[in-house]
Structure 1
């Protein structure tokens, strides 16, 4: 019995390495004539103890060859980097990353998509103009809003939009003073913005995040924020860890003059961790944790 199990593991490892080799070849030569989806399906049953690196490389190679599931690719690249760091194989990750980039050519991998450009190549002025339009619209509706998450990180750390990013993040401060009231107000605000024609309705797939009208293919995400007494909440990254004085009064960003929190560094550390000052194209936000932490708010908006 033990020999049978050992033989089966050896067969699975051999097949895993074959699929990895096919994926690597696809990165070099293209995926023409290959059924990469079939290989990816087969990979699900080929996890072999001690060979996480090979499995993850195989998955990334086939997805990149297909130009599909960019979010999974970014997450897998982060996992690969961590595995290589643990094993002292940093050069292996650097070489694999270089192969991925070479295979993509002019295509850019972002957290959301494989696309022809990211903020490194885009003109920023029309993007900021559209952001200004949306901030003005929110103000006319009686709401303060500020640059949030990746957009805030860019203007504070890089003094520009982050090169490897491709969307805009804004947070709006609701008038509600608890999570249940915030959920109700969020739904009301969605309807109001929809009536005004400033929502990209077709792009909204999660009621907790609204999509404002885009510009030049750049999505603009609107996130809910509110105070509960002196504690500040921003879905999905801040659950009362900031005080009112950390946020208000909002101040003008030195790059755009648009509003940002009074203490943006403190918010960024909550959102991105202590390493927020170092650019990381493979950063992945822990959405599963945020879903648990904000469960009462999410239950109210997902009706």
Structure 2
């Protein structure tokens, strides 16, 4: 081990399966390198806790996303981020493997943690062609927004990198734009945001809503993967500038508009009139000092106000994206027992709509037997891979996003599905197990819309004590309600459970399922009159 002379900063005493242990009295930001590549950064005092072994030591635990990689050997270097002073350098073995640790994704692409502690493909060491594709998209989106009177500019880490170094920040993983609206009412701001959304979709972009006042555009890279470009709304309300999703600050309109310019990777881009002031309200007065472990300390009052105005429509979405990203190998085309049961009950159905389609197993199978098959899911990852697999297999299956946290999405998708010609069947396999009460209420609203023509809704549900075995993430995402609660909610929304079957477990790890056929007959009768 090689360390520098004694200092008030971090003195590393141990690195093991738990994390980085050490002592010190001064705060500082440190990088952790595996075999000469930065993997993680932390603030020693802020991110540490008292170590169990010694009262004089503190432990900085490994990020949860990194733990699964800690099986093998690597040369670990810990160094101060700014001046790169090395405070630890040694080969460390973890777990039982004797091989080298490789922090990469399934395709072998290097990963590192971002400021949230999640492993991402950061810009450092990336393909220059991907960087150029992202910059091309930034310029095109800025031009598209100007077409509808929106003057946007790079924000957050993208503006920070441009002003500080003229480059994308190496430890960053996506790009950010922002605009400051001339409107002041939250309702008007939401309407304007959706106008921007529609315009970007018309330009051919894949857009995912972050909230009612922010969205993400997906940029495809050379290897077929995607990188995000966020578009955040901002506005002055009662004299305070609010920027989605972290900022409430005192700033003058004249410090934003008319826009100035900045340079990013050799390209001239717009910037706030006083870019330094904008960066100070974003990152504080020390924004010029690089900090890959930066955390936003958003005041509760700001978060609650932005939640109340614009958010509440993307609960657990990032978790679901991560969950389905683990299961991106193309599934075999074949029916689940539930899908086969529905097919036997609906031999004349022209269209089968699977709500909460996940990996799309049932959707792909229905398409393979000649049905018009539609998969609806909350996760962009699930939607993307579903459409990719359908194209690879030459199947006419269609996957789209449905957000049951967002009534606008519920009403739009409900109207679209309702207008599909011919006989329909709607399935939802374990969907209700992943919804809270509000999500279920919106799902019953969707079912009521679609069921007005007599369409049956087929549910597979499981009681809370019958979840089966799943990994930690899967368990956290499941919130099954008792069957009695589901029946009560269905009846309160005007539906009726017409048929119910209990399916005993087919294996030790399988739970006991209940299959239901639900109709909204009184609405179907009213529609027919």
Distance in 1, matches of 2:201 and 2:213, equals 15
Note closer, same or farther for the CA distance 1:283–1:135 as it changes in structure 2 (3 Å cut): same
Question: Which secondary structure does the structure 2 equivalent of 1:164 belong to?
Answer: coil
Q: Who is 1:146 aligned against?
A: 153
Q: Who is 1:260 aligned against?
A: 271
Deviations 1:25-75 (A, max 9, x none): 9x9xxxxxxxxxxxxxxxxxx997969933x42xx166423259xxxxxxx
Shift of 1:165: 0.6
Structure 1 regions of 5+ residues with no counterpart?
A: 1-19, 28-45, 69-80, 82-90
Q: How many corresponding residue pairs?
A: 240
The reply on whether 1:271 has 2:282 as its aligned counterpart is yes
Higher RCO (C-alpha under 8 Å, 6+ residues apart): 1
Alignment equivalent of 2:257, drawn from 248, 257, 262:
248
The TM-score with structure 2 as length reference comes to: 0.39
Question: Which secondary structure does the structure 2 equivalent of 1:257 belong to?
Answer: strand
Q: Who is 2:241 aligned against?
A: 232
Distance in 1, matches of 2:279 and 2:135, equals 21
Distance in 2, matches of 1:98 and 1:267, equals 43
Note closer, same or farther for the CA distance 1:163–1:235 as it changes in structure 2 (3 Å cut): same
Structure 2 regions of 5+ residues with no counterpart?
A: 1-14, 21-31, 33-49, 71-79, 94-99, 104-109, 314-405, 408-529
Q: Who is 1:211 aligned against?
A: 216
Note closer, same or farther for the CA distance 1:62–1:134 as it changes in structure 2 (3 Å cut): closer
The reply on whether 1:292 has 2:304 as its aligned counterpart is yes
Distance in 2, matches of 1:114 and 1:174, equals 33
Q: Who is 1:10 aligned against?
A: none
Question: Which secondary structure does the structure 2 equivalent of 1:294 belong to?
Answer: helix
Distance in 1, matches of 2:312 and 2:112, equals 37
Matches within 5 A, 1:89-238: 94-95=87-88, 106-111=110-115, 113-123=118-128, 124-201=131-208, 204=209, 206-216=211-221, 217-228=226-237, 231-238=240-247
The TM-score with structure 1 as length reference comes to: 0.64
Shift of 1:231: 4.9
Note closer, same or farther for the CA distance 1:67–1:224 as it changes in structure 2 (3 Å cut): farther
- Contact 1:180/1:296, CA 8 A, preserved across alignment: no
Deviations 1:254-279 (A, max 9, x none): 34221110001111111111211111
Question: Which secondary structure does the structure 2 equivalent of 1:277 belong to?
Answer: coil
* RMSD, aligned CA: 4.1
Note closer, same or farther for the CA distance 1:172–1:116 as it changes in structure 2 (3 Å cut): closer
Shift of 1:284: 1.5
Higher Rg: 2
- Contact 2:212/2:311, CA 8 A, preserved across alignment: no
Matches within 5 A, 1:26-45: none
Question: Which secondary structure does the structure 2 equivalent of 1:248 belong to?
Answer: coil
Q: Which has the higher strand share?
A: 2
